[in-house]
Amino acid sequence: MDRPSRQDLAELLAHRGGHHVTILMPTVRAGAEVQQNPIRFKNLLREASSLLQERGVERPEAEDFLAPGRALLGDYDFWQHQEDGLALYLAAGYLRTWRLPLEFNELAAVEDRFHVKSLFPLFNEEGRFWVLALSQNDVRLLAGGPHEVHEVPLPDVPRSLEEAVGFEVTQQALQSHTGTRAGARPNPGRSPRSAVFHGQGGGEEDAKDEIRRFLNAVDKGVQPLLAADGRAPLVLAGVDYLLPIYRDVTGYSEVLPDGVHGNPEGLRPEELHARAWEIVEGHIQAGRREAAERFADLGGTGRASEQLEEVVPAAMDGRVDTLFVARGVRAWGRFDAERREIEHHDEQGGGSEDLLDLATVHTFLAGGRVWSVDPEEVPGGGPVAAIYRW
């Protein structure tokens, strides 16, 4: 499945110069209503053309500008394989599209930069999370969201203890660990590779050292993948003795304290996802409650605000530590950087931009945390709420 990474998001944010068209729309995955997807998209292209013309672009030039997007209308296969939402980003010589498990409100926007706020559920605790399934015989990394999961290829990760430390060394350590004498006939009902830790002794310590080497190698291989999603939480799945060893060796800071316990080898990705999501959902709710309580505690101190006129300049200054922003809500206007004031517009056009998106972008660029939530979940009752660093 194609998903925008944090690198893709940074690319969208860095793209400047000329007109930037953003189209967001809900899509139907299957059934007779699938044929409505390209019709809806065509209507949004027509709206984007009108917005370009409002910015002074002649109609023929506007149609040429939108031609790469319009070419998708004839791509039958593209429209037959949709998810819950479609995001298109178009500029001169630039086109990116993503089919995503997000239910967008319809939007056609033409601004000086791309409109990215609607993607943020993929990049905060409400979006993507990881599941690392560990056993001595197999390693799997899954990327998931609330409603979907897929396995991530691991070309630079040893897939078993034997692969990481070598067959002979592993057998010696496991024989010592299981009490099997060298040269003794093995128990036909038990494989030495299924050994588990209990008690103390040289054999156990040798095996623990090997498993630590194995998990160190796993962690080294998965770190670049985990880092691509910044602070996405990681759920570990495995038998009880492996999980604390991995927590001890990993350099990733977002490993959740709870895990999926038991041998994961027999679990399908969907089963791992369902059990991991229970853990992640609790983590999300606790983090959001904590942030909302912190916002309430800081009321009247100058360290928090729900006023857009105050939040936008603070975000531009890099002062926003935590931002709640209402999903699907737009606040059209302009920010005057010299006067440090915002001007509200009733609708898009005339050089306006979504001020909520502006605050979101600059909070993200400054390393702040963005919670993209339903409007009723924004503290203070408005479309935005911010906690300041100072």
State whether 156 and 112 are in the same domain: no
Residue 361: helix, strand or coil by DSSP?
Answer: helix
State whether 256 and 376 are in the same domain: no
Mean pLDDT of 336-344: 92
Cα gap 90→66, rounded to integer Å: 8
Give, as one character, the DSSP assignment of residue 351: T
Of 70, 88, 116, the residue at which a domain comes to its end is 116
Cβ atoms < 10 Å from Cβ of 192: 15
State whether 41 and 103 are in the same domain: yes
Summarised one tens digit per residue, pLDDT across range 273-324 is 999 999 999 998 898 999 999 999 999 999 999 999 999 999 999 999 999 9
State whether 90 and 167 are in the same domain: no
Task: Confirm if 215 and 113 have CB atoms less than 8 A apart.
Answer: no
Summarised one tens digit per residue, pLDDT across range 181-208 is 333 334 444 344 444 444 444 566 777 8
State whether 265 and 368 are in the same domain: no
State whether 361 and 267 are in the same domain: no
State whether 63 and 38 are in the same domain: yes
State whether 155 and 108 are in the same domain: no
State whether 216 and 324 are in the same domain: no
Mean pLDDT of 319-337: 94
Cα gap 27→3, rounded to integer Å: 16
Q: Are strands 369-373 and 320-326 parallel, antiparallel or unpaired?
A: parallel
Cα gap 64→287, rounded to integer Å: 46
Summarised one tens digit per residue, pLDDT across range 53-84 is 999 999 999 999 999 999 999 998 899 889 89
**Which residues are CB-neighbours of 390 under 8 A, at least 6 positions away?**
303, 319
Of 255, 284, 313, the residue at which a domain comes to its end is 284
State whether 140 and 277 are in the same domain: yes
Tell me whether residue 347 is in a domain.
yes
Summarised one tens digit per residue, pLDDT across range 219-236 is 999 999 988 766 789 999
Domain ranges, residue 11: 6-116
State whether 237 and 303 are in the same domain: no
Cα gap 321→364, rounded to integer Å: 9
What global pTM score does this model have?
0.71
How many structural domains does the chain have? 3
Question: CA Rg, the chain, in Å?
Answer: 26
State whether 268 and 137 are in the same domain: yes
